[in-house]
């Protein structure tokens, strides 16, 4: 009898270990893909003496034509690039980039490029070798932008990443931004912003037919899930704009907060104000409780993310592309079986 009990306990223990070792459906090994060319444009030209700048640019122009497109029809790229590259503000920001790279290895060119390449390797592993709708990545340029608005620019086959947008939330160049937004300037978010843009590339196109809160939650959450599938869990949290503390709060209070969504019957409500309170970036989420100021912003997107994860666990045969293109929010929710 004791032997039988021991065998049963051993069996249950083995099953528990096996279950704990099973990976999530979005967590797959990278598949080596075509190497992307990474070009640290700022490092190639900003340290160059002004007398040698034009000859240097003329040598680079045939190799990197995307950088030498005139801003005006029939214009000359020299009229655009030379004033920009001689601008003292650009040089000052470049020095700040170099300092940040020394203090934060995530922004250092080699580490950053390795992270991006690995993300693309996982992207192609999810999408498969015959993916006709995949983004045709060819080259990534890093540069200094004078702190202009885009966090990343994507063109056909080419990505432009402005490093001066990732100097850390305390950098004075971002002083006019709201406190809850400056976290996006953390150096480790440079790769995250690329894959957020790449995720949007795969969202359903056209005019939406469902304007409910649930549809908005799931659309935004698909971007977070995409980052999770390509860069990992921590990157997904940062893509949402959450700190580790925010994530911990949501996990601890998930059941209670989800109960409010259900009790207030807001999932299928299409009021624009609800999306502003629960989906758009904000310092906190407004659910009409005494805890509101403790609830991280974008709580609706966080719950959308949990729904998508639950759906993928329920349907592990699904692909990332299928989930991104799944346009029926109500069916997706029902099939997810989400219960906190």
Measure Cα distances from 307 to 120, 229, 237, 317 in Å.
25, 15, 15, 16
pLDDT tens track for 250-279: 999 999 999 999 999 999 999 999 999 999
Q: Which of 209, 246, 205, 224 is nearest to 301 (CA)?
A: 224
Where do we find the tokens 């249950």?
12
The yes-or-no verdict on residue 321 having pLDDT over 50 is yes
Mean pLDDT throughout 180-206? Answer: 94
In a domain, 324, yes or no: yes
Q: What is the pLDDT of residue 246?
A: 96
Q: CA 135, CA 330: separation in Å to the nearest integer?
A: 28
- Whether residue 15 lies inside any domain: the answer is no
- Of the pLDDT bands very low, low, confident and very high (cuts 50, 70, 90), residue 287 is very high
Whether 74 and 219 map to the same domain: the answer is no
Domain with 138 in it:
37-200
Find the mean pLDDT for residues 129-154: 90
Q: Given a cut of 70, is residue 4 above it in pLDDT?
A: no
pLDDT for position 39: 97
CB-neighbour burial class of residue 326 (10 A; exposed 0-12, middle 13-18, buried 19+): middle
β-strand pairing of 158-162 with 139-143:
parallel
Quote the number of domains for the chain.
Answer: 2
Return d(Cα 242, Cα 297) in angstroms, integer.
8
Token code pair at residue 298? 């974008």
Range with lowest mean pLDDT among 88-92, 125-129, 153-157, 310-314: 125-129
Say if residues 319 and 126 touch (Cβ distance below 8 Å): yes
Q: What Rg do the C-alpha atoms of the chain give, in angstroms?
A: 23
Q: Are 192 and 47 members of one domain?
A: yes
What predicted TM-score, i.e. pTM, was given to this entire model? 0.91
Q: Exposed, middle or buried: residue 207 (CB in 10 Å: 0-12, 13-18, 19+)?
A: exposed
295 and 219 fall within a common domain: yes
Residues 188 and 65 in one domain: yes
pLDDT at 229: 98
Q: Judge if 109 and 222 occupy the same domain.
A: no
Q: Specify whether 65 is located in the same domain as 185.
A: yes
């Amino acid at each position: 009898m004791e032997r039988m009990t021991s065998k049963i306990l051993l069996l249950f223990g083995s099953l528990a270990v096996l279950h704990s070792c099973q990976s999530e459906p979005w967590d797959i090994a990278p598949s080596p893909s075509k190497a992307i060319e990474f070009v640290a444009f700022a490092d190639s030209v900003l340290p160059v003496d002004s007398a040698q700048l034009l000859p240097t640019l003329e040598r680079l122009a045939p190799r990197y034509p995307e950088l030498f497109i005139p801003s005006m029809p029939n214009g000359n790229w020299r009229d655009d690039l030379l004033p920009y590259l001689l601008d003292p503000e650009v040089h000052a920001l470049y020095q700040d980039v170099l300092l940040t790279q020394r203090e934060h290895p995530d922004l250092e060119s080699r580490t950053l490029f390795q992270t991006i390449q690995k993300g693309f390797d996982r992207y192609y592993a999810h999408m498969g070798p015959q993916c006709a709708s995949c983004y045709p990545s060819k080259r990534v340029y890093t540069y200094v932008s004078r702190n202009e608005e885009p966090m990343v620019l994507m063109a056909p086959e080419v990505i432009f990443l402005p490093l001066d947008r990732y100097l850390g939330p305390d950098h004075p160049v971002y002083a006019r931004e709201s406190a809850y937004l400056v976290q996006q300037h953390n150096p480790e978010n440079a790769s995250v912003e690329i894959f957020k843009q790449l995720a949007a590339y795969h969202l359903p196109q056209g005019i939406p037919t469902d304007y409910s809160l649930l549809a908005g939650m799931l659309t935004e959450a698909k971007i977070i899930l995409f980052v999770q599938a390509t860069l990992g869990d921590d990157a997904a949290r940062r893509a949402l704009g959450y700190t580790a503390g925010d994530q911990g709060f949501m996990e601890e209070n998930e059941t209670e907060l989800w109960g409010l969504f259900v009790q207030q019957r807001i999932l299928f409500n299409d009021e624009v104000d609800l999306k502003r309170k629960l989906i758009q970036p904000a310092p906190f989420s407004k659910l009409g409780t005494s805890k509101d100021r403790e609830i991280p912003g974008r709580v609706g997107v966080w719950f959308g993310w949990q729904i998508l994860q639950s759906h993928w666990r329920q349907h592990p045969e699904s692909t990332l592309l299928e989930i991104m293109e799944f346009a029926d929010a109500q069916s997706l929710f029902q099939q997810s079986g989400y219960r906190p």
